[in-house]
Structure 1
């Protein structure tokens, strides 16, 4: 399965379809937050996570470390978090649509999806995680039908080039 995802032309076509679908969803979500004044909503959302944490069957908080991090780090800086969430979703979406730095975009999409799940928001996150997992595993093949066809070789030769030893 991994070999198919990483090397097959048919897989690259299927991955491009999945990638563009997810990219449109992420871009629209991010753009809605950028243009809709998401700052106060972020404060409310983060406060809700702290007040109503995810609890297990026994009533204990399941992710106390996450709730502490939300309360201590993110909630006091909710305006910055609003900018990061909005623009993060938007840029991840563009990366997936255009196939530019696709693996990085899929990684950050997964990071956001898992953060939303830890906060107790199920929504579309399991579906997105499932699809993003395949993009991440496919690596370069997921963006081969996209800008990664040109961007990744350029990055490898100009940014990560090996220095010749004397």
Structure 2
């Protein structure tokens, strides 16, 4: 292994994958985090500023028009007033918070998880498979998952410092190990 490569190895369900990545990869991981953070922040911020975002029409019309396999679920959600009210707040503010989390590298895995969840829902709702099952929504979902897997919040992000924050002389992640699932 050269000084410019980092070894990766992981075993899942008895299968092992391993390889080397170049140390410059850290900049691409950071770029992915910042790109998704900016995209989500801008999208959410414009919805918040407009004050007129409503998911009702999308929920009841887009999935059936796109022949989504879960169109009935989306229509049911769109016909449930309290759920539409929830989505009308959760989508714009969720995008803003996910964006800020990624831009600042704070609670990055939590932000990336919710970003991936939103992209999964967009993938199912938009259901554009004219050119195959992989589309932009699916690709963005994988980008979010990659940001989480690589612990991108530790790269010029606040998670690096949050993990080291001490409570009674003990680092936060040592005192509360499950916090690792939110940070990084």
TM-score by length of 1: 0.73
For 2:111, which of 83, 105, 108 is the aligned residue? 105
The answer to which structure has the higher strand fraction is: 2
Gaps of 5+ in 2: 1-5, 10-18, 129-134, 166-171, 179-184
Say whether 1:119 aligns with 2:130: no
> 1:150: which partner in 2?
161
Q: Once the 2 structures are TM-superposed, how far is the Cα of residue 27 of structure 1 from its aligned partner? A: 0.2
Deviant stretches of 4+, over 6 Å: none
Say whether 1:48 aligns with 2:61: yes
Aligned-residue Cα RMSD (Å) equals 3.2
Assess if the C-alpha contact under 8 Å between 2:60 and 2:79 holds in 1: no
Gaps of 5+ in 1: 56-60, 162-166
For 1:53 and 1:66, the matched residues in 2 are separated by 14
Q: 1:45 to 1:2 in 2, by over 3 A?
A: farther
The answer to which structure has the higher helix fraction is: 1
Partner of 1:119: helix, strand, or coil? helix
Q: 1:112 to 1:2 in 2, by over 3 A?
A: farther
Q: 1:130 to 1:2 in 2, by over 3 A?
A: farther
User: How many residue pairs are counted as aligned between the two chains?
Assistant: 151
For 1:28 and 1:149, the matched residues in 2 are separated by 25
